[in-house]
A and B are shown apart, each in its own frame.
Chain A
Amino acid sequence: MASEPHRSHLLEIEDLVMAFGGLTALMNIQLRVDKGTIRAIIGPNGAGKTTLFNLITGVLSPTEGTIRFNGHVISGQKPHKIAALGISRTFQTVELFDNMTVIENVMVGRHLHINTSFLKCGLGLPAIRSQETAIEAHAMGLLNFIGLADKANSMADSLPLGERKILEIGRALATDPLLVCLDEPAAGLNETETETAARLIKAIKGKGVTVLLVEHDMKVIMNISDHITVLNYGEKIAEGTPEEIRGNPKVIQAYLGDSIAVI
């Protein structure tokens, strides 16, 4: 892959280091993600994948290094500010708003796109009410896109896991992001549910949204990713297209260990 000029990289990570006291979770990470692609981050457990996500989305502040997104330096910024710049995410432990309905969960995603204040809301100004109608319509549209429109008014915690994961993706899309970070969207899903999730992720790419994906399900990874980055013990050990990664001995070794013969 020839090195691309700066401008087409939506996300750029340079010399990233994350250390917690004595433990170094990530070391010397370089990453460049092109707009409109699906980039998978894979690696054995403990490789630092979720830490990387937490750094990109502002939950953590890097010990060293820079993260640049769409021209802005985002490393060390607060999560809500990074969300405003166009990054949204899902969580490994599905973090839905269980005290709300399905459609309300998605409506929260529109928070960045409304002009509101505490006072205006309490006074019940007509401007707020008309925005609310627009939010509801937009959310309904998204629910149609992800296939959960019929469950719009059910409580989020009444959904089975597969649908909860899909809902979380839908909520992440409600912010109109440029980049969406999906943390193990297929974990715990059966084959049908996994296929639904994979199709949804491809549809997201079809809408022009860039996808960063942490996943363990190799079939999904190989099927939908444009590029794959492999982490092990906090370091990048390989990067390339699915074909390049598939036969990469370092990757196989990382997952299986030396003693097992390469098939």
Chain B
Amino acid sequence: MLRIRKAPIGVGALFILLFPWVAGRLPVIEHYPDLMVFAGIYCLVTIGMSLLMGYAGQISLGHAAFYGIGAYASGILTTHYNLNPWLCILIGSAAATAVAVFVGAPSLRLRGHYLAMATLAFGIIVNIVFREEAEWTGGPDGMGGIPGLDIFGFSFDSIHKYYYLVWIVVAIAFFFTIRLIQSPTGRALRAIHASEAAASAMGIDISRSKIVVFSFSAILASVAGSLYAHYMNFINPSTFDTLFSIKLVIMIALGGMHTIWGAVVGSVLFAFLSFEWLHQFGEYEIVVYGLVLMMVTIYLPEGLVGLPGRIAQRVRR
């Protein structure tokens, strides 16, 4: 049975809780909470994708599309229709679900490479829509003036406040997903990943399960996109392109595809690499990611979370 280890969660929660306070004390890392907002937003997307890829075994190379749908739903509905941002997040999730079911139903019948290409094509098409429908989206120049989030008069108008908001949402998603994995449904997903033939012989509706997981990951990505939009107050299509979809895959592969922790570790690490440590490389950043991905695929297929296990194996020899 999969048991959650309480210790890492405790440590992680403590870290997240105290981080802004610590960062505030050290000028050198004062800007880190802003970075961690992005890390949290990425986590939301990758937690869902990890369930899809690591547990249900379905690859998605187009998840930036759902991220974008959430962002543009928030952007368009607030700036064009003055709707309450929270309602926009809800509507964005509903839109993402509808698209996920519409695209997922035929796609998820496909396997392996066919599924990968279908999701890739889907992601590109959605990005083209963002670019072309300038009347709604502002086109390639993007759209601004997206309001921030507030609740009952309390406004999330500082980095620290948004940080806690994002990480509370991440915590909810994290615990929901962990509980799901340990449940009968989680077991059914793992069964599908191991052997679709046997899973369906046991009465599991494969198509339906895949679509549900796909939709769940789309909802998480959409909420993440909305949070992004309300944080940056400005969005443009190049944030939601194939390169970002691939970066998401890199985060998951880097952290570890087969555990939810892997998604979290990979996303946080990627945020630091991207905003901080590799920043000096500028455009070369992408080459580094490619090389890292190649190394991980060959030498560390379980990702970074698998590293302690690997070292332990070596030590035992």
Contacts and interface: CB of A to CB of B under 8 A. Distances in A.
A contacts B directly (C-beta below 8 A): yes
Interface of A: 57-59, 78-80, 83-84, 88-89, 91, 95-101, 104, 107-112, 114, 116-118, 121-124, 128, 131-132, 135, 153, 171-172, 174-175
B176 A80 contact: no
A124 B194 CA distance: 24
Contacts of B201: 57, 79-80, 83, 88-89, 91, 95, 172
Contact of A95 (B176, B177, B180, B197): B197
A78 B188 CA distance: 17
A122 B177 contact: yes
Nearest to B172: A122
A121 B186 CA distance: 8
A97 B180 contact: no
B179 A109 contact: no
Interface string B98-117: 00000000000000000000
B195 A111 contact: no
Contacts of A95: 195, 197-198, 201
B76 interface: no
B95 interface: no
Contacts of B198: 91, 95-97, 171
B185 A79 contact: no
A65 B48 CA distance: 44
Contacts of A111: 184, 188, 202-204
A89 to B, nearest CB: 5
Given A80-B204, A118-B213, 5 more contacts: A83-B200, A88-B202, A95-B195, A107-B187, A111-B184
B206 interface: yes
Contacts of A153: 1
B88 to A, nearest CB: 22
Given A88-B201, A95-B198, A122 B176 contact: yes
Nearest to A88: B201
A123 B200 contact: no
B118 interface: no
B191 A121 contact: no
